[in-house]
Amino acid sequence: MEVNNGGSAAAELPECISSVIPGWFSEISPLWPGEAHSIKVDKILFQGKSDYQNVLVFQSSTYGKVLVLDGVIQLTERDECAYQEMITHLPLCSIPNPKKVLVIGGGDGGVLREVARHSSVEKIDICEIDKMVIDVSKQFFPSVAVGFEDPRVTLHVGDGVAFLKAVPEGTYDAIIVDSSDPIGPAQELFEKPFFGSLAKALRPGGVMCTQAESIWLHMHIIEDIVANCRQIFKGSVNYAWTSVPTYPSGVIGFMLCATEGPTVDFKHPINPIDADDSHVKTKGPLKFYNSEIHSAAFCLPSFAKKGESRVEGQIAISTDDYYST
C-alpha cells in the first residue's frame, strides 16, 4: 500500500487532474462516454493507493472537500446530503421500528450518520472492504465520518459478499448497500447471488436499498438489476431516483426491495424521520430528505417506464421509447 499525503502529493498529480483542464479534476469514464464533469481544485489533500483502489481527496473551490475513488467522485461536502439521506431514509422510513441495520460499503460513514438518526435502531453493522476509505474519511470528512462514533455501530473491515454469507438467516430489518459503480471492486454487489444473500439475511418483510445508477445513462444496467431483484425478492421491488449534482448526469437511482412478509409500501413512508425531531438536537437538521421528496423519488419520467408491473403498481423500466434521435 502506497500512501502520499499533504505537500508530497502535489508533486505527482493523479492522471484525472493533470490530463484535462489544468488545475481542475475531470471525471472521465467509459460508464459515461463523451461527457465529463470538472471541478476546480484548490489543493490536493491526499492521494494514495489501497489494496483495492486509488484514493484521492482534494479541496475544491466551490464544492468543499471531494472524495474520489478510482477517478470517480464519491462525495463532495456540498451535495453529499442528497445521496446519504435518500439511500438511508428511503428504506428505513418505509418500515416500522427498524432495529438491526447492516451497511455494506459506505466506508465514509455518511450512511451510518443517517441510520443513527433513527431512535428505534439498536444495532448497526457496517462491512467496508477498504480501510483506507474509512481512515481518509475520518481525517478529512469529520462531518461525514461522525457516523462511526455512534455506540450502536460495529465496524467489520472485509468483503461484504463473504460477510453476508456468514450472517444467520433473517438477522436484519434493513440492509443498505452503499457501493461504487459496477466496474471494479463493487461488481459482485450488482449480481444475483449477492441479492440472494441479501434476501436471506433479512427478516420477513425486511428491506434493502442499493445505489442503482442513472436512468439517463445506464438503463440497461438498471433493467438487469430490476430483473434480478424481481426474481429474488418476493415483496415490493421499486426504483427511486434523486438529484446529486456531482454524479454523472446529475442523478442517482436506488433499488428498493422487500422480502416476503408484512407488506412494505416504499412509496408511502410510515416511519417519517422528519416528523420526529429528537435526532436534530445532536445531528443537525436533515438537509435534503423529507416525506414529500420520499414519495416523489418514485415518480419516473415516461422514457423510464412502460406499462404497469404486477408489483404494487410499480412501473417496469424500459428504454424502448427513449432516445430515438
- Catalytic amino acids? 178
β-strand pairing of 202-211 with 172-178 = parallel
* Cβ distance to a second copy smaller for residue 130 or 181: 181
* Residue (of 153, 161, 165, 154) closest to 177 by Cα position: 161
Identified binder of a second copy from the candidate list 46, 63, 254, 266, rule CB under 8 A: 63
Residue of 29, 120, 143, 318 interacting with a second copy (CB under 8 A):
143
Name the residue nearer to a second copy (CB basis): 34 or 151: 34
**Spatial separation of the C-alpha atoms in residues 237 and 257, rounded to whole Å:** 4
159-218 residues near a second copy, rule: CB under 8 A: 216
Within a 10 A sphere around the Cβ of 230, how many other Cβ atoms? 16
Residue 273: name the closest of 105, 91, 79, 102 by CA: 91
Does residue 230 belong to the site contacting a second copy (CB under 8 A)? no
Residue 112 CB-half CA count within 13 A: 29
SS3 163: helix
Q: Taking CB under 8 A as the rule, does residue 322 contact a second copy?
A: yes
Q: Footprint of a second copy on residues 85-114 (CB under 8 A)?
A: none
24 by DSSP, 3-state: which? strand
Closest CA to 234 of 200, 267, 209: 200
Using CB under 8 A as the criterion, what x/- string covers residues 10-49 for binding a second copy?
----------xx--x-x------xxxxxxxx---------
**Binding-site size, a second copy (CB under 8 A):** 55
Judged by the rule CB under 8 A, the positions of this chain that interact with a second copy are: 20-21, 24, 26, 33-40, 60-65, 77-79, 81-82, 143, 216, 241, 243-245, 247, 249-251, 274, 285-290, 292-293, 295-297, 299-303, 305, 321-323, 325
